[in-house]
Amino acid sequence: MGLIVWRLLVTTDVGKEQWTWWEILDTIFPYDANVYVRIFNRRGVLLVWSQLPGNQLMKLLMNRLTRAYKLVQFDDCCPARLRDIIFTAKRLVGGLRDISIESEVRGDYLGINEKELTDILIRELNCLGGEKKLMVEVVWDIVGLSLSSRSEGVLRTKRTG
């Protein structure tokens, strides 16, 4: 078992967060009794905290969630402070320069918008664009970062409800 950290971001329809919260707990609890799911202000966003690896969580939840439509696996997390985001992003990408950056900012905790955050990270990391993608998901006071090829890291689920 790994460290207990934020592993996934899950999005669902506004108003369906409680249902999705229950489905996540119901699915993961038999494998990790310490699983924790945080709902953010009833805006369709949940974070999953677990000791299970992110890829295992993705496999468990992939065909189980009926109201979720996007799962993002985090490689690393940090507080929503610009210096921490830059430090964590540099640590995650290492010396890679041929990466593109995509940001999504939810809430006003960070104080800047998606375009400003992306521009700052491109400048600080000296990014040139490329096949690898650094996804930066700001969810109020938590930032999840994910480095993957353009086709990995985000799963869009088949919605049955």
We report the CATH number of the domain holding residue 140 as: 3.30.2130.30
Q: How confident is the model at residue 149 (pLDDT cuts 50, 70, 90)?
A: confident
**pLDDT (0 to 100) of residue 63:** 85
Are β-strands 132-139 and 99-106 bridged in parallel, bridged antiparallel, or unpaired?
Answer: parallel
Segments forming the whole domain that contains residue 105: 76-149
Tally of structural domains, the chain: 2
Residue by residue, DSSP assigns 95-140 as T--SEEEEEEEESSSSSS-HHHHHHHHHHHHT----SEEEEEEEET
Q: Which of 2-6, 23-27, 94-98, 126-130 has the lowest mean pLDDT?
A: 2-6
Q: Do 140 and 87 lie in a common domain?
A: yes
Q: Do 66 and 81 lie in a common domain?
A: no
Q: Do 19 and 34 lie in a common domain?
A: yes
Q: pTM for the complete prediction? A: 0.85
Q: List 71's β-bridge partners, or say none.
A: 10, 155
